[in-house]
Amino acid sequence: MSVTELVLLRHGESVWNAEHRYQGQQGTGLSARGRQQAKQAAEYLQSLEFDGIVASDLQRVTETLQPYLDSQDHLEVRVDKRWREIDVGTWGGRMIADLAAEEPDVVEAFARGEDIARGGGETFRQLRARVWEAAQDITRSGVRRVLVVTHGGPIRVAAASALGLPAGDEMLLDPPGNCSLTTLRLDGLTSYNVPTGMDR
């Protein structure tokens, strides 16, 4: 039985990360710290061999990946928008502290684990469905190891799906740090179906 390794790299610190703003599918490029993180990640990744690279199309991911691409010339990047961060709608660009003051009920409900479409964007259920579909597509292609450069939300839900955690339990997992690596080993038989019932 073939096993595919997905090596998930979260982007480096962005300017909005440093400013404590919600990003979602909006946002800026990397901060100075994020650019340094990306260089360090590139140095480590040179010790690994990949059969392919898949990446979100957002700027902070593109800038994180560039130092690694500059170090090698034999792999092309396949851009897949399904690996984008969760859409937080009108919350994008807003200060986290401001929204906590202006929409406390929504912030508190989300903190309790309710799967709310913040700012009219996506729910985690929707994010999990599209990310798992993208992960399964890579696994079905039969490659051995793929670098996936993405965001914290997609990494968390991909890990939850691989572990077979029920919908909502991705929030029990610690969020990945900037430029951290998470490796998932998928055998192609693992299937996760998003439950159709109510959230817990």
Residue type, 16: W
> Is 125 a member of any domain?
yes
Domain that holds residue 113: 4-186
Confirm or deny that 16 is annotated as ligand binding: yes
- Give the Cα separation of 67 and 173 in Å (integer): 29
> Is 200 a member of any domain?
no
Confirm or deny that 94 is annotated as ligand binding: no
> Is 195 a member of any domain?
no
- At residue 168, the pLDDT reads 84
If phi > 0 it is left, if psi is from -120 to 50 it is alpha, else beta; for residue 27 that is: left
CA diameter of the chain: 52
> Is 196 a member of any domain?
no
Confirm or deny that 60 is annotated as ligand binding: yes
Q: What is the pTM of this model?
A: 0.91
Contact 22, 87 (CB under 8 A): no
The model's pLDDT over 157-167, given as tens digits with 9 standing for 90+, comes to 999 999 999 98
> Is 194 a member of any domain?
no
Residue 146's pLDDT band (cuts 50, 70, 90)? very high
> Is 193 a member of any domain?
no
CATH number, domain containing residue 30: 3.40.50.1240
The model's pLDDT over 87-108, given as tens digits with 9 standing for 90+, comes to 999 999 999 999 999 999 999 9
Residues known to be catalytic = 11, 85
Confirm or deny that 132 is annotated as ligand binding: no
- At residue 198, the pLDDT reads 30
* 178 vs 76: which has the higher pLDDT: 178
- Name the H helices within 3-151: 15-18, 32-45, 59-70, 96-102, 104-111, 124-140
Q: Look at residue 25 and tell me whether its pLDDT is greater than 80.
A: yes
Confirm or deny that 13 is annotated as ligand binding: yes
- At residue 171, the pLDDT reads 84
- At residue 188, the pLDDT reads 65
Q: Look at residue 189 and tell me whether its pLDDT is greater than 70.
A: no
Greatest mean pLDDT among 2-6, 37-41, 75-79: 37-41
Q: Into how many domains does the chain fold?
A: 1
Confirm or deny that 15 is annotated as ligand binding: yes
Residue 193's pLDDT band (cuts 50, 70, 90)? very low
> Is 97 a member of any domain?
yes
| Average pLDDT for the chain | 91
